[in-house]
Amino acid sequence: MQKKMPAVRLIPVPSRQLLLWHLATHALALSVTVFAPLALPDKLLLLSLLALYAFWRLRCGKGVNSRRVIEARIVSSGRSRLTLGDGRRLVAKIRPDSLVTPWLILLRFDSGQGPRRLTMVLFGDALPNEQVRRLRILLKFGGFNQKGQ
């Protein structure tokens, strides 16, 4: 008889690594646009698109995203209770192709509500190390991940 594994409750905190990644990619896009050998109208168009995207990220990106998973409770059977950004709660099944590495966590869920799947993408610093370790063990040895099921 297999011993039942405890559930893992994930409540991510804001990630400093994600913020640095966003800043670095936007700074790179800005520097490429400024120093690229383009005509002035093309540069102005690209710079205005970058400015519009930055405005949108600052204005709307920090707001409530109704499709974003903000909390997950995963049990060994693979059933998960998810809380979305708008407060809705769903029961979903975690997919065995989810990925947990020390620097990136990619959890995929099937909610059974259409073709779109819910995804939780986190950098390694968004969760405590103990939760990441328990999640890796759950994904590796959980009952939902065994052959023939």
Give tens-digit pLDDT for 47-80. Answer: 999 899 888 877 765 555 667 788 889 888 878 8
Contact in structure between 105 and 127 (CB atoms under 8 Å): yes
Query: Do 77 and 104 belong to one domain?
Result: yes
Query: Do 87 and 37 belong to one domain?
Result: no
| Chain centroid, CA 108 distance in Å | 9
Please give the tally of structural domains in the chain.
2
Q: Domain range holding 104?
A: 8-13+65-145
Dihedral, CA of residue 106, residue 109, residue 115 and residue 121, to nearest 10? -30
pTM score above 0.75:
no
Query: Do 25 and 77 belong to one domain?
Result: no
Query: Do 52 and 90 belong to one domain?
Result: no
| Chain centroid, CA 57 distance in Å | 16
CB 80: neighbour CB atoms within 10 A?
25
d(CA 94, CA 92): 6
Query: Do 86 and 29 belong to one domain?
Result: no
Confidence of residue 1 (pLDDT cuts 50, 70, 90): very low
d(CA 77, CA 8): 12
Segment 133-149 shows an average pLDDT of 71
d(CA 62, CA 42): 30
